[in-house]
Amino acid sequence: MAAIRTRGMRRTFGGVTAVAGLDLDVEAGEIFGLVGPDGAGKTTTLRMLTGILPPTAGSIEVAGCDVVRQPGGVKDRIGYLSQRFGLYPDLTVAENLAFHADLQGVPPAEMPARTARLLGFSGLDAFHRRLAGDLSGGMKQKLGLACALIHTPRILFLDEPTNGVDPVSRRDFWRILHQLVREGVTILVSTAYLDEAERCSRLALLHEGRVLALGTPGEVKSILPGSLLEVRTADSRKACLVLRARLPESRVVLFGDRIHVTAADAAAAGRRISEALAAEGLPPESVRPVEPSLEDVFVAVLARPAPPGSGAEAPSSP
């Protein structure tokens, strides 16, 4: 039985469709990622899954609870860390935990053990007397996560939890998430960071409320047609313009100081790339096949608009 299951989940605001008929199945004990840019529908999706926002249409089942019919029934079974989690800056770390424990109805007798475990688990035990307002961004997110876990939920919803957090804190945060999964917690996390999507068991690429691709990171990468070539030159910006003009049938994208070219025939495309750049006085430093990243896939599938009313652009994994 899926921990989270939706069918035709849809949400409109006036004439704007924020989420367009999503079908999702999240299995127990996995990290499932909702991945996409701002405005993709990630937050709206999470708010519907947690019973905060009713869907315009469709069905939602979370932890065996029908969220559409009983939106409040799921409260005790889930934890939710929103983008603007309500920490109280004038309370200490320990006091914030105690406050959220009281809100969630945690028995007072269980509070000391749960607090000690979560403080140690999140690395906040040395800061339990520090005011929440004096914590760094990464530490605030860890405290928010601890508060969301204080009632031992079966499913955890995280809305862009590492947005604006430094790389070291992001790594620590994901280490904690994987430990939670090993303990049996199911996690659904939204993120705009494609490198974080690589850490998920499975993911859905979202754009304008639609699923463009769904599967494991490897399965999603495999939908990129043809081969991917990485080109390095002394002037990548100019070379990119040259290749777009000379290889109109290929997808040419600038990635920092590199150029990614998607082609049906890697060997033939490599020769054409070298010849085209040499003719412009920009002989390539290297042209080599590389494994596509999720960013490559996202750029590629965005170039193929979903049919009207469709909930998916690319085939989903079984």
pLDDT category, 166, cuts 50, 70, 90? confident
| Diameter of the chain measured on Cα atoms | 77
Q: What is the pLDDT of residues 114-162, one digit of tens each?
A: 999 999 988 899 999 999 999 988 899 899 999 999 999 999 999 999 8
The residues that bridge with 131 in the sheet, in sequence order, are 92
pLDDT in tens, 74-110: 988 999 998 876 789 999 999 999 999 998 889 999 9
CB 125 within 8 A of CB 113: no
- Separation of alpha carbons 261 and 277, rounded Å: 13
Of 317 and 205, more confident: 205
45 close to 73: Cβ distance less than 8 angstroms: no
What are the pLDDT digits (tens) for 256-315? 899 999 988 999 999 999 999 999 999 999 999 999 989 888 888 876 654 444 333 333
DSSP sequence for the chain = --SEEEEEEEEEETTEEEEEEEEEEE-TT-EEEEE--TTSSHHHHHHHHTTSS--SEEEEEETTEETTT-GGGGGGGEEEE-TT----TTSBHHHHHHHHHHHTT--GGGHHHHHHHHHHHHT-GGGTTSBGGGS-HHHHHHHHHHHHHTT--SEEEEESTTTT--HHHHHHHHHHHHHHHHTT-EEEEEES-HHHHTTSSEEEEEETTEEEEEE-HHHHHTTS-SEEEEEE-S-HHHHHHHHHHH-TTSEEEEETTEEEEEES-HHHHHHHHHHHHHHTT---SEEEE-PPPHHHHHHHHHTSPPPTT-SBSSPBP-
What is the reported pLDDT for 165? 82
- Kindly report, residue by residue over 175-209, the tens digit of the pLDDT: 999 999 999 999 999 999 888 999 999 999 999 99
Contacts of residue 265, defined as CB under 8 A and 6 or more positions apart, other chains included, come to 226, 227
For residue 72, pLDDT over 90 is answered with: no
Ordered domains of the chain (ranges, CATH): 4-221 (3.40.50.300), 227-291 (3.30.70.270)
pLDDT at 225: 83
Distances (CA, A) of 78 to 74, 81, 133, 156, 285: 7, 10, 26, 6, 52
Can you tell me the mean pLDDT for 233-252?
93
**Residue count of the chain:** 318
pLDDT of residue 304: 62
Q: What is the dihedral of CA 91, 92, 93, 97, to 10 degrees?
A: -50
pLDDT of residue 113: 92
pLDDT at 85: 67
